[in-house]
Amino acid sequence: MKRRLLIVDDDREATRQLANQLAGSQLIEICGEAASVDEAWAKLQQSRPDLVLLGGVKETERGVLCQQFRLAFPHLAFIAACSPNELVWEPFFRNLGIWVIAKPVQSGQVEALAMMAQSPALDTRFPRQPQQPFSQEQQGGMPHSKDQDQMTEPHPAIHAQPKAGKKRLITVYGPKGGVGKTFISRELAIFFSMQKKEGRPLKVLAVDFNLDLGTFATALNLPRTPNLFTWVQELDSQLHALAQKRGIDPYSVRPEEWQELASLLPLFPQHIEKYVIGHTESGLDVLTSPRDIRQSFEIRDYHLYLILETLKQSSYDVILIDTAPDTTDATIQALFFAEQVVMVGTPVVDSIENIQRLLKLLREAEYPEERIQVCMNRLQRKEMFTLEEIRAYFQLHPSKKIFSIPDDGEVKKSINTGIPVMMQTGRSAAREAIETLGKALFPVDEETKKLAAKGKQSEKPSLLRWLWG
């Protein structure tokens, strides 16, 4: 039976060309064409496709569109057709369980994908990635990485597991070091841990994605075991077992094959508690970065993908990810998995310039800008640049608020003592600003949870005690 394909693209000429190519196909029947979101919804209802090809629609972002369509029609398979400069975002689409192919689309590519999506054994066999027809070089495009040559297929978990309750995944990022990302993540995490939603205390997890040099645990006086690497080791043993079950020698598996195996691994959100440390005073859970820098070298993209995907299905209400000031795959994955991003900077030209560069990159990738909240930290009474000037420089939408956090002498002390300003009884200028930011990120009840152990707050910091653990 032919697979029914809906083409969603505002480039009518591209749609016409593909339709011509597929006219005589034995495998695919085009059941609809749409050039706008409204038209796509109507066609989805009328023509009941099996497969949707997402070219591009200016009014929306494809990842978001796919998620909306999938909610209404869970059986649908998706293909994103990307131009050469969009292919850098292939991991983002992969994370959403969307196949990716390069433009101009060849009918053979779509046919091969339609057959793969149809296979009922998708989750029970080692998938073969048909690499040849999808190489951009063959289509006269720019060469790109091996990773991008491979098509990707939806993670079985995306189809197999029900979505956990409404949660917020918030990534705190800033493309310059030392601007206050860890401080702000810590304070937001504690703020949310102290809040209630519909009368119930929020369940909050903070994740340290500074894989090599993370200090989130230190900022809360917490030990560093278990940590992300404990989880990665566990994932590796599950992957080894899976390879063996499929008759593959784990010691001969190539890196890209691990990636394919990872896409078949079942996820266990109920096991996350084995890898987190509890912050007793607030009830916050923390997934810390590895103890040893060398361990971070062993963490691969597919580990992080599995971890993020599992976190998404967990029962946490709010998950905060603290990141490093870089553009490594770990950071990019954390940005694309997030429902909201707090973009942190300070009112200094170098920090402002880097945020502008990052915003430009994200805009080019059609990243939904409404997810980004810009936050200027360490504002002093008199600054050279006003928030209005900064907003104009970033070309933010006039309705977009820039959040600000004042420079506050208490912050340094609170980092050294491991006691968040959110848990201190005295006055702090930064505290109110963090609360404003927190409430904008995730609506909470007005009532605040009582803290568990106030007594701990009076502990004096000691460098020796910290050094010797």
Which residues contact Mg ion by CB under 5 A?
Answer: 181-182
Q: Which does 405 bind (CB under 5 to 8 A by kind): Mg ion, ligand ATP, none?
A: ligand ATP
Torsion angle, alpha carbons of 33, 39, 40, 41, to 10: -140
Q: In a 3-state reduction of DSSP, which class is residue 295?
A: helix
Q: How far apart are CA 48 and CA 26, in angstroms?
A: 19
Of 18-26, 129-137, 179-187, 333-341, the window that binds ligand ATP (rule: CB under 6 A) is 179-187
The distance from CA 424 to its chain's CA centroid, rounded to whole angstroms, is 31
407 binds ligand ATP (CB under 6 A): yes
CA proximity to 310, closest of 253, 228, 241, 246: 228
Q: How far apart are CA 333 and CA 343, in angstroms?
A: 15
Cβ proximity to ligand ATP, 84 vs 325, nearer residue? 325
Cβ proximity to Mg ion, 148 vs 182, nearer residue? 182
- Evaluated on CA atoms 89, 94, 81, 126, the torsion sign reads positive
Residue 9, CA atoms < 13 Å, CB-side half-sphere: 24
Cβ proximity to ligand ATP, 181 vs 371, nearer residue? 181
Q: Which does 307 bind (CB under 5 to 8 A by kind): Mg ion, ligand ATP, none?
A: none
179 binds ligand ATP (CB under 6 A): yes
422 binds ligand ATP (CB under 6 A): no
Cα separations in angstroms, 401 against 8, 61, 370, 371? 33, 22, 11, 12
Cβ proximity to Mg ion, 321 vs 441, nearer residue? 321
420 binds ligand ATP (CB under 6 A): no
CA proximity to 325, closest of 186, 206, 182, 187: 182
For residue 229, the minimal CB distance to ligand ATP (Å) is 19
Asked if 434 and 188 count as a contact pair (C-beta separation under 8 A), the reply is yes
Asked if 181 and 325 count as a contact pair (C-beta separation under 8 A), the reply is yes
What mask, x for binding ligand ATP by CB under 6 A, covers residues 138 to 167?
A: ------------------------------
Asked if 391 and 385 count as a contact pair (C-beta separation under 8 A), the reply is no
Of 157-165, 313-321, 381-389, 404-412, the window that binds ligand ATP (rule: CB under 6 A) is 404-412
Identified binder of ligand ATP from the candidate list 99, 183, 209, 258, rule CB under 6 A: 183
Of 52-60, 142-150, 246-254, 402-410, the window that binds ligand ATP (rule: CB under 6 A) is 402-410
Q: Which does 407 bind (CB under 5 to 8 A by kind): Mg ion, ligand ATP, none?
A: ligand ATP
The sheet carrying 51-54 orders its strands as: 28-34, 3-8, 51-54, 77-82, 99-102
For residue 377, the minimal CB distance to ligand ATP (Å) is 5
289 binds ligand ATP (CB under 6 A): no
**Cβ contacts of 224 within 8 Å, gap of 6 or more:** 217, 288, 289, 290, 291
The distance from CA 384 to its chain's CA centroid, rounded to whole angstroms, is 34
Within 14-43, the residues that bind ligand ATP by CB under 6 A are: none
Cβ proximity to Mg ion, 155 vs 181, nearer residue? 181
Identified binder of ligand ATP from the candidate list 136, 193, 310, 377, rule CB under 6 A: 377
Cα separations in angstroms, 87 against 90, 94, 444? 5, 11, 38
Cβ proximity to ligand ATP, 3 vs 431, nearer residue? 431
Cβ proximity to ligand ATP, 179 vs 243, nearer residue? 179
- What is the binding site for ligand ATP (CB under 6 A)? 174, 177-183, 210, 325, 377-378, 405, 407-408, 411-412, 415, 430
